[in-house]
Structure 1
Amino acid sequence: MEWLVSLFGAGLVMVSLRDLFHTLWHPTRHGGLSRLVMTALWRLARRFRGRRRVVGLVGPLAMVTVVGMWAGTVVIGWAVVYWPHMPESFAFSPGSEAAQEPALLDSLYLSLVTVATLGLGDIAPGEGWLRLISPLEALVGFALLTATVSWVLEIYPALTRRRVLAIRLALLRDADPTPGQLDSTAGALLLDSLATEVVRVRIDFTQYAEAYYFHDGDDNSSLAAIVGYAAVLAEHGQAASLAEVRLAGDLLAGALKDLSTILDQRFLHTGGSPAEVFAEYATDHGRGVTQP
């Protein structure tokens, strides 16, 4: 029975590590538990009044919640591993009153100290197999800290790329280039560069799905509000007389369609056309679609 309890604790640890791996390092970035937490917080925030202010906190709060979930699951899992063998399989420092505490409390304390790599030493594993897995928990704690820092450093460049594209589209909308101005070599280069940026954002939504749950604010940095204007530019390009402009227009239209497919498959689930998906994207982020 003791070994079954320890195996259950090991299973909790593996569930947490699997979710961490799939969230941060798996090519498809399909974290199970983390994705559920982020989606639940996003939907909950949409129900509040003053929604934009609340939604703006969802992304950072969701990341903190997910990291706390990982850490808590690891700590509890390892405590359950220790629990059936406490205190007889552990050595206590002279004068320590830890052995007089409930076994579960001592197990949680040891797990917290170990995963935080504090190494206080007042409780130490005595049996051989426990002496091997206890340092392993410290390594997992260090990996968790490193993964958290890496996650933050990865997500904010993705948000920057998305907001740069939004601001660029807003500037183009304000400049209001005519179809004749786009029907030129410069217009072809412009549409081609926009297609490249749209593809980058599409990849970001694939590899950093949690970026979707970050609100872009109420100014021109909101891609949800302005992405429809890119479709207007693509249409102008496709109707141009120069072949190179038509090609660039086709590239931009294809990139936008691909982006809408990713948004719909992973977040919105409308099953509609790209225009309908982008309209739902704007609504989901509390923004109306910007008209050209």
Structure 2
Amino acid sequence: MKWLVSLVGAGLVMVSLRDLFHTLWHPTRHGGLSRLVMTVLWRLARHLPARRRAVGLVGPLAMVTVVGMWAGTVIIGWAVVYWPHMPEAFTFSPGSKAAQEPALLDSLYLSLVTVATLGLGDIAPGEGWLRLISPLEALVGFALLTATVSWLLEVYPALTRRRVLAIRLALLRDADPQTEHLDSTTGALLLESLATEVVRVRIDFTQYAEAYYFHDGDDHSSLAAMVGFASSLAQRGHAARRPEVRLAGDLLAGALTDLAAILDQRFLHTGGPPEQVFAAYATDHGRTSAQF
């Protein structure tokens, strides 16, 4: 029975590590529990009275919640591993009152100080197999801290790329270039560079799906509001006389279609054409997609 309880604890640890792996390091970032937490928080925020303020907090709050979930599951899982063998399989420092506490409390305490790599030493594993797995918990705690920092450093550059594209589209919207303005080598280069930026954002939504749940601020910096204008630019490029401009317009249209497919597949599930997906994307972020 003791080993069955310990196996349950090991299973909890593995569930947390699997979710961490799929959220941070898997090529397509198909997180399980973490994606569920973010989706639930996003949907709840959309129905709150102070919707705009609440939605702006979802991204950072969701990341903190997910990291806390990972840490809590690892701590509880390892505590369950220790629990059936406490206190007979452990040694206690002289004068320590830890052995007088309930076994579950001691197990939680040992798990917490181990995962935090504090190593206070008042409770130490005595049996050989426990002496092997206890340092593994410290390694997991160190990996969790490193992964959290790496996650933050990866997500915010992705948000920056998305907002840069949105602001660039907003500036172009204000300039309102017509087909005759785009019908030049400069126009072809402009459309091609926009296609490249759209592809980067598409990759970001694949690699950093949690970035979807970050609010972009006002319409000027919101891709959800401005992506419709990118479709308009692609149509103007396609109507140009120069073949290189038409090619660049087709590249931009293809990049936008690919972006719409990713948004629909992973977040929106409309099953419709790109125009419908972008409209749903704007609505989901509390915007109105720019159409020209």
TM-score band by shorter chain is over 0.9
Shift of 1:50: 2.1
**How many Å separate the matches in 2 of 1:283 and 1:176?**
24
Q: Does the alignment pair 1:58 with 2:91?
A: no
Shift of 1:29: 0.3
CA contact (8 A) 2:117 2:142 kept: yes
What residue identity is the alignment partner of 2:150? S
Any idea what the Cα deviations from partners look like across 1:166-222, whole Å, max 9, x if unmatched? 000000000111210101110000000000000000000000000000000124110
Q: 1:141 matched to which residue of 2?
A: 141
Q: 1:40 matched to which residue of 2?
A: 40
Q: 1:179 matched to which residue of 2?
A: 179
Greater mean deviation of Cα atoms: 43-52 or 221-230 = 43-52
**How many Å separate the matches in 1 of 2:69 and 2:48?**
24
Q: 2:6 matched to which residue of 1?
A: 6
**How many Å separate the matches in 1 of 2:181 and 2:224?**
26
Three-state SS of the structure 1 residue aligned to 2:193 is helix
Aligned CA RMSD, in angstroms, stands at 0.6
Any idea what the Cα deviations from partners look like across 1:149-173, whole Å, max 9, x if unmatched? 0000000000000000000000000
Shift of 1:291: 3.6
Q: 1:98 matched to which residue of 2?
A: 98
Q: 1:71 matched to which residue of 2?
A: 71
> Following superposition of structure 1 onto structure 2, how do residues 263-282 of structure 1 map, counting pairs within 5 Å?
263-282=263-282
**How many Å separate the matches in 1 of 2:43 and 2:49?**
13
Q: Does the alignment pair 1:212 with 2:212?
A: yes
Shift of 1:290: 2.2
Identity between Structure 1 and Structure 2 (%): 86
Shift of 1:288: 1.2
**How many Å separate the matches in 1 of 2:291 and 2:193?**
22
Three-state SS of the structure 2 residue aligned to 1:124 is strand
Q: 1:113 matched to which residue of 2?
A: 113
**How many Å separate the matches in 1 of 2:229 and 2:188?**
16
**How many Å separate the matches in 2 of 1:7 and 1:282?**
46
What residue identity is the alignment partner of 1:39? T
Q: 1:152 matched to which residue of 2?
A: 152
**How many Å separate the matches in 2 of 1:235 and 1:178?**
10
Three-state SS of the structure 1 residue aligned to 2:221 is coil
**How many Å separate the matches in 2 of 1:202 and 1:219?**
20
Shift of 1:223: 0.3
**How many Å separate the matches in 2 of 1:142 and 1:254?**
43
Three-state SS of the structure 2 residue aligned to 1:220 is helix
What residue identity is the alignment partner of 1:100? Q
**How many Å separate the matches in 1 of 2:37 and 2:213?**
11
**How many Å separate the matches in 1 of 2:277 and 2:49?**
24
Q: Does the alignment pair 1:202 with 2:202?
A: yes
Three-state SS of the structure 2 residue aligned to 1:117 is coil
**How many Å separate the matches in 2 of 1:237 and 1:67?**
45
**How many Å separate the matches in 1 of 2:186 and 2:271?**
35
Q: 1:132 matched to which residue of 2?
A: 132
Three-state SS of the structure 1 residue aligned to 2:220 is coil
**How many Å separate the matches in 2 of 1:241 and 1:69?**
57
Shift of 1:19: 0.3
Any idea what the Cα deviations from partners look like across 1:8-62, whole Å, max 9, x if unmatched? 1000000000000000000110010000000000000010122111000000000
TM-score (norm 1): 0.99
What residue identity is the alignment partner of 1:78? W
CA contact (8 A) 2:228 2:289 kept: yes
TM-score (norm 2): 0.99
What residue identity is the alignment partner of 2:203? I
Shift of 1:2: 0.2
What residue identity is the alignment partner of 2:167? I
CA contact (8 A) 2:235 2:249 kept: yes
What residue identity is the alignment partner of 2:231? A
Q: 1:252 matched to which residue of 2?
A: 252
**How many Å separate the matches in 2 of 1:242 and 1:130?**
72
Poorly superposed stretches of 4+, deviation over 6 Å: none
What residue identity is the alignment partner of 2:45? A
Q: Could you list the runs of 5+ residues in structure 1 that have no partner in the other structure?
A: none
